[in-house]
Amino acid sequence: MEQDIRFCEVDGRRVAYATIGDGPLLVFSARWITHLEDEWELTEVRSFFEELAAAHRVVRYDRIGVGLSARDLPQPPTVESEARVLRAVLDASVGEEPATVFACSCAGLATALFARDSPERVRKLVFFGGYAARDDIPEATRGSLVDFVRVNWPLAAQMLAGLFVPGASGAEIAAFSRYQRHSAEASVAAAFLACGRLNAGTPLEIASTPVSAVAPWENALSSAKIVMPATAAGAAICGLGGTTAGHPPTQRTAPIAIKNRIDTTNP
């Protein structure tokens, strides 16, 4: 199979998205930093999506600022802006057809907001290793990590590769480091890391209106069929899967023990 890469616009910025396969719509919300063409050359990643595409129409996309999308990022990303990108990709690729949306890690916040505001666009939700809060790391440590990425991206990319892919060989870490650096500039990678810095119990700014940090999940997760907290991922927010999975009583929660993320190139 070959992916079909096309483009749409959000707030005047180009967004690249790829489709493959036929069948019920399955959309992967964008993760931290990606590159549609580069990851398609990785055998394990390609095989994963091709298997899904045997029975689904699979849609993936690059966030604004990374990959094949517009590489400049004039404004810091927000949960709201990321939800607008997801909406635009759905509009451009499938129109009004409801989708199953797969949200991995940091993609969960924008996906939950989108599902809360547009429930008619979502058939099912799957959250993998997501979170409603990131208070497991001290604020000073998180700020230092963002600064580290901003000022020394080559070394930071190598460090993050070892964190996201524990147990990887030296060659695999080097390859993933190159992938990250090619997918985004230092300032963009740092901005997306900072975007995910939410504290449990503190306001989450959405459209300049403070709401509870878990409020976007309440209605969205009532539509979720599967929530999979990652319990042993090197970069997982272990224990915070319960922050998302503990609220609605209707979904199926399936904790799984893993070493890496859903694929080895997308934290």
Amino acid in position 7 = F
Closest CA to 83 of 26, 24, 30: 30
Q: Please tell me the least confidently modeled range out of 82-96, 99-113, 233-247.
A: 233-247
User: How would residue 77 be classed by pLDDT, with cut points 50, 70 and 90?
Assistant: confident
- Select the more confidently predicted residue: 200 or 175: 175
Distances (CA, A) of 212 to 52, 111, 192, 199: 35, 16, 21, 11
Q: What is the pLDDT of residues 176-220, one digit of tens each?
A: 999 999 999 999 999 988 875 443 333 333 333 333 333 444 454
- β-partners of residue 15 are 8
Residue 201, CA atoms < 13 Å, CB-side half-sphere:
2
pTM here is 0.78
**Contact at 8 Å (CB) between 14 and 7?**
yes
Q: What is the pLDDT of residues 112-152, one digit of tens each?
A: 889 888 889 999 888 887 766 666 677 888 889 899 999 99
Predicted pLDDT of residue 246: 43
Return the CATH fold of 4-253.
Rossmann fold (3.40.50)
The residue ranges of every structural domain in the chain are 4-253
132: its two tokens = 């409603």
